[in-house]
A and B are shown apart, each in its own frame.
Chain A
Amino acid sequence: MDKKPVPLEFEQPLELLAQQIDALEKQLADHPELDRDIERLQKQYDQLRRSLYSKLRAIDHLAIARHPQRPYTRDYFQRWDACWIELHGDRKGADDPALVCGLLHMGAMRVVAVGTQKGRSLRDKQQCNFGMPQPEGYRKALRLFHHAEKFRLPVVTLIDTPGAYPGMTAEEHNQAEAIAVNLLELSGLTVPVIAVVTGEGGSGGALAIGVANRILMLEHSVYSVISPEGCASILWRSADKVSEACQAMKMTAREIMQLGIVDGVIDEPLGGAHHDYDVAAENAKRAIIQQLEELSKHSAEEIRRDRQNKFRRIGAFAEA
């Protein structure tokens, strides 16, 4: 992080305090008696910050998850293994930059890593379709899943996407099939798969690399069946009910953990992962390695069955 984090809307009261402190600090040389006030304000600031982050609404989590400075897949890969090798292309005609695939070391382990990439600069963002993969991206990931299976390497996937790209060519190249085949093939892998939702987990486009033995979510990440904007416009027929939609869908990490779908929530630095990339990457790495070590004790067949059983159990229904 070279730039100062951009404050979010709900962080405005904090920002005001910070500005006051700044202003006082500038006058400190001429008025040493201000020291006390600064101290008092600083205390207030810390208190407010803690209380603000202890009771975030669903839409605040969403804002943090979508923060333009949030670490993306490449930031994590780079921090986990500075010498990681990126692999390109689906071998059928395209290389989708929205889905990054590579080989990397995580601690003592070698893994095949796959993740969606949103793009930092405007140019990057356009190339990556703002993190929305095309069918070719999912097919590239599928190729890497088969690679992992062949060389008995665990798979780590990072999810941060608003969803699969809804475009004309994407439909013509069969977006739905690309996702469906990934779901099918991932469920049949005999090597461990760990999925980490690092930002937005948007619907089928996220799940297409998310059928894993263990699903982890970063503290402020979200995961949902439809974007809250889509949900609000369909169910409330109004674009300004996004906050309600966020709340109704139960899309935050802790809520999804309560539903029994997520296996662990990874702590983020106070204020969100964008405040400290290194800490966020380190926390995620530790959690992934812990899960992988545990899974490595099982046989190939057990790993596959474990994953299938995990998803077989999901669902809420009654038999009248």
Chain B
Amino acid sequence: MDLKEWFASRQKRNETHLVKQPLTTEEYCALWTQCFQCRELLYTRDLRNNLHVCPKCQYHFRIGALQRIEQLTDPDTFEEIDPDLVSTDPLGFFDTDSYPNRQAEATRKSGLKEAIITGLCKIDSLKAALGVMDFGHFGGSMGSVVGEKVTRLTERAQEKKLPLILVSSSGGARMQEGILSLMQLAKTSSALKTFADEGLLYISILSEPTYGGVTASFAMLGDIIIAEPGARIGFAGRRVIEQTIKQKLPVDFQTAEYLMKNGQVDLVVERQALKETVARLIRFHQPPSPAPAFVERKDRKTVTTAKKS
């Protein structure tokens, strides 16, 4: 073999080596996930089986709407409503790109049409109306469609006398729809007012992250408010506050636990226990069906009379 050939074969070997590279970054990331908190390298399948909670440090990863629905509802019971509601471009909004282009981009990334999925489902055999936001779509921002879907879901729940559960995860109102987005705060809150007047139960679940217009409307209006451990929840963002008060904020500022300490949420519930907790809360608030209630009361009476005598 002369020198020329040797170089040629070496080059070839290098090329094939390139092709045979063990894994692309994307493939690698799909197989392994590093925990954001404890830096542990986790096998993605194990992580998925653990509901996307780090088995080592209990860090709760962000999850998409579809995964959340799968985790919360009984298998095959979720029926989506209003799946075809899509945004228009009412302002003709253009920043560095047009709003329709940004929507298309968001849909390509998330595979969803909008930042929320709503529907009817069963949770531990209990019927409920469920809406789940997805931060992966347009930062979970609330525009006209999210507002409309939440409102319609609330109305549907009211009509069918079902408990309402909303899982929030959002950066706030969607700037690209301007004032129309802001008005969705009023629209959803107004729908919840009529819903509340009917004496129905609304459980608000706050997941990482919930901010701005969503916190300042339906997310904070739950009869029961549950937060996921470590989730950051607030009205104004950390950076904005630091710039305003010109001070560093505590590390745990605006986390679920911090909110709990300040009396802003009822419960901080780990993801593994979330479905069960929601089911227990729904069951507790259901009006007791006539027969057992009667029996129970009668029992109690007999006990007291027995004591008296």
Contact = CB atoms under 8 A, between A and B. Distances in A.
Contact of B175 (A174, A249, A318, A319): A249
A135 to B, nearest CB: 9
A315 B245 contact: no
B190 A251 contact: no
Contact of A231 (B148, B175, B180): B175
A175 B179 contact: no
A184 B192 contact: yes
Interface stretch (A33-41, A222-230, A270-278, A290-298): A222-230
A230 B173 CA distance: 13
Contacts of B215: 176, 180
A211 B182 CA distance: 11
Given A179-B216, A204-B213, A226-B173, A248 B236 contact: no
Nearest to B249: A168
Contact of B186 (A244, A311, A318): A311
A218 interface: no
A239 to B, nearest CB: 12
Contact of A183 (B91, B174, B190, B254): B190
B236 A175 contact: yes
A171 interface: yes
A183 B197 contact: no
A223 B86 contact: no
Contacts of A210: 186
B59 interface: no
Contacts of A183: 185-186, 189-190, 216-217
Interface residues of A, number: 56
Contact of B96 (A211, A231, A235, A311): A235
Contacts of B87: 316-318
Contacts of A172: 262
Contacts of B302: none
B221 interface: yes
Interface in B110-166: 144-145, 147-148, 151
B294 interface: no
B173 A225 contact: yes
Interface in B206-239: 212-213, 215-221, 234-237
A83 B36 CA distance: 61
B88 A319 contact: no
A126 to B, nearest CB: 13
B244 interface: yes
A166 to B, nearest CB: 3
B88 A316 contact: yes
Contact of A248 (B95, B145, B173): B95
A176 B94 contact: no
Contact of A168 (B145, B185, B247): B247
Nearest to B237: A166
A107 interface: no
- Minimum-distance CB pairs A-B, first 3: A166-B236, A315-B144, A187-B190
Interface of A: 164-168, 170-177, 179-181, 183-185, 187-188, 203-204, 207-208, 210-211, 223-226, 230-231, 234-236, 244-245, 248-251, 256, 259, 261, 307-308, 311-312, 314-320
19 contacts: A164-B235, A168-B249, A171-B235, A171-B241, A176-B215, A183-B189, A187-B190, A203-B173, A204-B235, A224-B178, A224-B182, A225-B178, A235-B96, A235-B175, A250-B179, A259-B180, A261-B179, A317-B88, A319-B84
Given A176-B219, A180-B217, A259-B179, 18 more contacts: A164-B236, A176-B235, A180-B218, A183-B185, A187-B189, A207-B183, A211-B186, A211-B190, A226-B173, A244-B95, A248-B94, A248-B178, A249-B91, A249-B175, A311-B187, A314-B180, A315-B147, A317-B145
